[in-house]
Structure 1
């Protein structure tokens, strides 16, 4: 049977967690972030996570099933907070919300860079387990549907495919940053460029805004290659 990731605030059966269960899960995720930041994913065991979070190893396996699934759930929880921040940054849905998403991903990544680098590994290695597709289908899909209704995008724009491609752009962008291929100051611009390039073939009334986002991001990224002086 295909494993499915755990949703934030819900048990495997889809029921909402009790306050005690939610507190325990947040404690576990905090231990995961702390331990993998200090030691890396490979060096951290379920036993170490259990000891640090104050639960039994059996409880961890009962809840998450495996270490990979636990790491994926921790990444999902962190990503859910990114979308919440994006909505707070831009109450206006549609294109402004997607730009805010790029800025939120960059902001959360750079606020705790060591943790972000550590979590980039399980996200990329076990993307299907993270459940990020659900987050992107919901939040990015909603923004894209608003853009369709506004005429920002052409009516034939494939919403599900574009939401998936935006997801890949955000994940790979953070992955390139984690490897040092994208610098801290470049991350938000790089993510904006990936977003705009994904949507450009389907832009209609929004073509000038999307084209401008690409040009602006490329100009900012070009600063690295400017001759000294």
Structure 2
């Protein structure tokens, strides 16, 4: 089943991500089924594009889906700042321990894949780690300034996206029909792909393909907040 808390904007991110992963990871696993798999992916893409069209009539999607050029720049700077901080910390005495504190025990790759809200929390945690290890980080003042700037910019972006989504929460009849159609298609596509993977012993690939099943999300534009009340079906 599709997660009922996938909102109308997240359908775009999850749909496009799933289509790309199906074509990249599933096609070729069972050559006899490839044509069927490609058809399933094409139909999901078609319904995702229909969702985009319906939402575009309500207003610009770039802000609410983190795809505006300015949003991409803020996200890129946040990740690059954290990446540079970790590289610097690794060069210091007892660097491994400092890095563990900066990343809260996670790996850098996992932290960098966090969605924007959790990435902001990771930057906030990094600031606490810089303060804790200030004696071992001669340039701690500059790093505090850089990470604070990245965190504040990302927090402002998250707030703007949250407000934009709140302002557009009510669905037009066209958007509601498109979302319901998309939800059925997404759920059906999951069943199809699981049916391909299960006999091959590869059902554990499902979270790699359908990002709403993943603990660490990679689809750009999905949220970290507590799930809201499901929209009416």
Q: Which has the higher contact order (CA 8 A, sep 6+)?
A: 2
Q: Flag whether TM exceeds 0.5 (same fold).
A: no
Structure having the higher helix fraction is: 1
| TM-score of the aligned structures, taking structure 1 as reference length | 0.28
Q: TM-score, normalised to structure 2's length?
A: 0.28
